[in-house]
């Protein structure tokens, strides 16, 4: 099977590595706008061949769109315009609503599977790609009823080859859930980094004292704006709703600390401790 990966960065590159390693793909074609990244992907063996978009569309059995969602919204309908009935198209984007909307009435909609392999790091580019990135993580397929059974079964096998746990959601459910568990986490991390950087101008010891707690919380602030600005824009309403709830909780902590209300602080922390039942 020939798999074409459009975008050979962290996610696309890591998918390419394991689909070849685990025997799902016989050949990987990589499409990459950045000539340096294209060369790195080839040199590192992430792809077997650097291809043009035209070559990828004409030669691939499966086409995986692994570029920022702002570009994917425009590109996916164009790819669907050109595929044959035997080809399958999928994506890995972190928001689904707008993509689902633009492909809903496309004549080749059934050959497209809305996907989101939920994993990643704060790094980007083909040098960040790695084997095992998706092991044990959630592989989400959205609006499965809109896809052809053969296309759906093939993409499910692809997630199996990536050692992922398969989850089915609607596009709307996906965007609400990811706003809580992923998107707002990035907003919080960016805001914390900006806060500390602003304070650090006057206190050079802050980073000298930074330990594991700060590093783990601020880690996501290294993530690129090219990836995250489109996500925030496309999932705006859900992200804002979750941010409002987060701000309410911050204000509750602020009030309790300002009033030196130990009981209230204890209650807030104990309430938060219930997350242990979800995250171990």
Q: In CATH, what number does 174-277 get?
A: 1.10.3660.10
Return d(Cα 51, Cα 21) in angstroms, integer: 20
Whether the domain at 2-169 and the domain at 174-277 fall into the same CATH topology: no
pTM, entire model: 0.89
Return d(Cα 47, Cα 13) in angstroms, integer: 8
Q: Quick one: which H or E segment has residue 142?
A: strand 138-142
Q: Where are the domains of the chain?
A: 2-169, 174-277
Q: Residue 39 corresponds to which tokens in the numbers above? A: 């060369």
Phi, psi angles (nearest 5°) of residue 63? -115, 120
Q: How confident is the model over 168-222, as pLDDT tens digits?
A: 999 999 999 999 989 999 999 999 889 888 876 666 666 666 666 777 777 888 8
Nearest to 147 by CA among 172, 112, 121: 112
CA–chain centroid gap for 5, Å, is 15
Q: How confident is the model over 231-254, as pLDDT tens digits?
A: 999 999 999 999 999 999 999 999
Burial zone of 208 (CB within 10 Å; 0-12 exposed, 13-18 middle, 19+ buried): exposed
- From the options 3.40.50.720, 3.40.50.300, 3.30.43.10, 3.90.1150.10, give the CATH code of 2-169: 3.40.50.720
């Amino acid at each position: 099977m020939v798999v074409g990966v459009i975008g050979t960065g962290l996610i696309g590159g890591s998918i390419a590595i394991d689909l070849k390693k685990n025997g799902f793909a016989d050949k990987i074609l990589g499409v990459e706008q950045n000539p340096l990244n294209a060369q790195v992907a080839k040199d590192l063996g992430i792809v077997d061949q650097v291809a043009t978009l035209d070559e990828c569309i004409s030669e691939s059995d499966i086409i995986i769109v692994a570029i920022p969602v702002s570009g994917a919204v425009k590109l996916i309908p164009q790819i669907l315009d050109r595929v044959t009935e035997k080809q399958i198209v999928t994506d890995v984007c972190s928001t689904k609503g707008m993509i689902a909307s633009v492909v809903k009435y496309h004549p080749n909609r059934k050959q497209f599977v809305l996907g989101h392999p939920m994993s990643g790091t704060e790094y980007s580019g083909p040098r960040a790609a790695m084997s095992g990135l998706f092991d044990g993580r959630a592989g989400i397929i959205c609006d499965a009823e809109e896809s052809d059974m053969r296309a759906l079964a093939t993409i499910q096998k692809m997630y199996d080859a990536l050692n992922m746990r398969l989850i089915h959601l609607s596009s709307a459910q996906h965007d609400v859930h990811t706003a809580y568990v992923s998107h707002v986490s990035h907003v919080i991390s960016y805001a914390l980094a900006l806060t500390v950087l602003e304070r650090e101008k006057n206190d050079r010891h802050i980073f000298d004292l930074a330990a594991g707690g700060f590093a783990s919380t601020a880690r996501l602030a290294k993530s690129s704006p090219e990836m995250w600005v489109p996500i925030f824009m496309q999932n705006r309403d859900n992200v804002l709703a979750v941010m409002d709830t987060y701000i309410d909780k911050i204000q509750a902590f602020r009030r309790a600390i300002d009033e030196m209300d130990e009981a209230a602080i204890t209650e807030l922390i104990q309430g938060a401790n219930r997350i242990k039942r979800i995250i171990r």
